Chain A
Amino acid sequence: MNAADPNGALIVAVILFSLGALGVLVRRNLLFMLMSTEVMLNAACLAFIAAGNRWHLADGQVMFIMIVAFAAAESAVGLAIILRMHAAGRATLDADTGNRLGG
């Protein structure tokens, strides 16, 4: 199958997406969870590219660029927040321990 085959690409994207989701669910390290969300977004990117290719439309690429930009911003903010939390005295990156909110 060639790389531009939309259905094949879509299947890959779906797999990628589920991997990302799985990552968020199973990983306990905040950084890895952040990365998993990036993976999910990238799956979306792939899907858009494939779809754009399928319809010979530029919209796919537009979305791709936007998503990448968003992903970058999001991860930047995320890292900033993690740093802040560290500075504010949260010792661990573990998502499960040291939660104060909830209940």
Chain B
Amino acid sequence: MMMFALPALVLIPFLGGFAAWIAGLRGATRPAWAVSLVTLILMLLVLVNVTLASLSAGTGGWFAHFSMPWIPLLGINLRFDLDGLGLVMLWLNALISFPCALLSARNVSERAGLFHFLLLSTIAGINGVFMATDLFLFFFFWELMLLPLFGIILIWGDAGRQRAVLKFFLFTQGSGLLMLLAILGLVIVNAQRTSVITFDYFLLSQTAMITPVAGVLMLGFFLAFAVKLPMVPFHAWLPDTYAASPAAASILLSGVLAKTGGYGMIRFVVMLFPGPAAHLAPVAMTLGVVGILYCAWLAVAQSDIKRLIAYSSISHLGFILLGVFSGTRIGMEGAIAQMVAHGLSTGALFVIAGLLEDRLGTRDMAKMGGLWPAMPQFSAFAMFFAAASLGLPGLGNFVGEFLVLMGTWQVSHTMTFFAAAGLVLSSVYSLTMMLRVFFGPRRSEASSPLGALSVPHVAVLGVAALLLLALGVYPQPVLNLSVPASPHSVSYAQEQAQ
């Protein structure tokens, strides 16, 4: 049963998306919405099933495996494998996808069917990325998940979306082609060594260990993921894109899509090319620290709330880079925890930003101010997530950042020092946001009357808050589960493969 669970995780959302599209063809919003919710719930159930099976299999190593030939002549298979890291990422994706579907109900009025189709196929693509262990398949999903997002941003986005979305696509695709080059290089090298053409992650990992050109190949992977993460100086696409995206898209982008970069860094850079990655580490970590400080600094100056959150998000992602390349287990775990926590907190912040834009009709914080009395409940949520994103102990982000810093400390004291300075800056911009939006005298006379929160909003924000709290006070389950399995650890899945 486990075998077919993995492809099901890709197929269910995709087919569900089709169903939603059909349902929405007659212009009705409700049915499409309902269908996509049902689909997500179905996906969640499968995921739960997989998780239970994996937990019974015990932590560490590879839990599940699926493989069938795709293009046999080139040794390309439809191969999925699942390890702890992938599982945690899948969960993050599933959790983030709910608000996207739930909250879209109000701000996607027309062509809802199409919207849900695009949304669900994005989610399917992301699921695929987190499970694919055939490099061609991985690349296929990697490119595939962007396309529907392109549509979502373009159709339902805000002003300036054309430029933003083109930028987004050129950056990601261009870097993706570099990765393609690296993949093929690895395959060819492997073919020359073993005279067998294969795209299998596990088989290639053997070659990746020993080939002299590993450094160059790794660079191709690294750049692709660095753009997606994003790492300074490849971050230029992100603020524009986040700002121009509709709420659902920016939630998905910041919540999950950025994490695919971190995931790739772990699975295809550090795990596949340990040696070269170690050589690259100082550079990568330096860039990570630079990103933390530089983008936090930029965030302070933004007047568009979405741009502020976007820059803050880049700044936090710097910690992931730091942790992944610290080369210590603790740093790696921290990076993973940070991915999850950041996904939740930033996603929630984008929900809030989207709602503000919804209610006030502007993203300019100069036009806001003194909103607390107008929407106390909502403001309290905002305060919570702002606190989370400035790394308040007891909330998820702190666990991630602390572990990352600890891992970094064992490598370099100065970097840790500067990263910690980033914590101070994060408090500056988070509180500046609170100050300019919610505190101070009421400035937004022009704004429409601000009603209470809708039930879905409360549910979404509440769940996110609870999860962050849980992750903050008792992260152990996640830390235990999310251990990335190395390609060399021969698991029963692999034995089945041979």
Q: Please tell me whether chains A and B touch each other in their complex, using a CB distance cut-off of 8 A.
A: no
| Chain A residues within 8 Å of B, Cβ to Cβ | none
